[in-house]
Amino acid sequence: MNNAVLFDLDGTLLDTAPDFIIAVNQLRRDHGLENLSDETITVQVSNGSAVLTQLALNITPEDPSFATARQQLLDYYLA
């Protein structure tokens, strides 16, 4: 018999939206941009950090600065 515990952390058990709102808006401020509304960010949280990075800076994954920006977003989220 196998035993396992699975967690779905996209808001089902933990509300991570407030932390991502802070992270996205900090990244925007770093780039001289104004904050996005909480609602604008919250509806994208379950789509992952790549989508949040695109939302924050209006850049695509092909942009040379994308990987660095995504890492900055994750660093802010984990802080």
pLDDT at residue 15, rounded to an integer: 81
Instruction: Say if 10 falls within a structural domain.
Output: no
Quote the pTM value.
0.85
Long-range contacts, 26-29 (Cβ 8 Å, 24+): 26/76, 27/53, 27/56, 27/57, 27/69, 27/72, 27/73, 27/76, 28/56, 28/57
Residue 59 tokens read as 């850049």
Q: Is 75 tagged catalytic?
A: no
Q: Is 8 tagged catalytic?
A: yes
Instruction: Say if 8 falls within a structural domain.
Output: no
Instruction: Say if 31 falls within a structural domain.
Output: yes
Chain segment 29-67, per-residue pLDDT in tens: 999 999 999 999 999 998 999 999 999 999 999 999 999
Find the domain containing 26 and state its range: 17-78
Q: Which of 8, 19, 63, 75 is an active site residue? A: 8
Domain count, the chain: 1
Instruction: Say if 39 falls within a structural domain.
Output: yes
Instruction: Say if 6 falls within a structural domain.
Output: no
Chain segment 4-28, per-residue pLDDT in tens: 766 555 566 778 899 999 999 999 9
Instruction: Say if 27 falls within a structural domain.
Output: yes
